[in-house]
Amino acid sequence: MNVQLNHTIVWCRDQAKSSRFLTQILGLPPARRFMHFLVVELSNDASIDYYETTDPIALQHLAFKVSEADFDLVLARLRERVPQIWADPARTQPGQINHFGGGRGVYFEDPDGHLFEVLTRSYLAGA
d(CA 84, CA 13): 21
User: Which of these, 82, 62, 45, 66, lies nearest to 9 by C-alpha position?
Assistant: 62
Entry pTM: 0.94
Superfamily grouping for domain 7-119: 2,3-Dihydroxybiphenyl 1,2-Dioxygenase, domain 1 (3.10.180.10)
pLDDT tens column, 71-95 = 999 999 999 999 999 999 999 999 9
Let me know: does 110 contact 22? Beta carbons within 8 Å: yes
Length of the chain: 127
* pLDDT confidence tier of residue 17, bands split at 50, 70 and 90: very high
pLDDT tens column, 40-71 = 999 999 999 999 999 999 999 999 999 999 99
Helix H, strand E, coil C: the string for 35-53 is CCEEEEECCCCCEEEEEEC
Give me the pLDDT at residue 127, please: 47
Query: How confident is the model over 34-45, as a mean pLDDT?
Result: 96
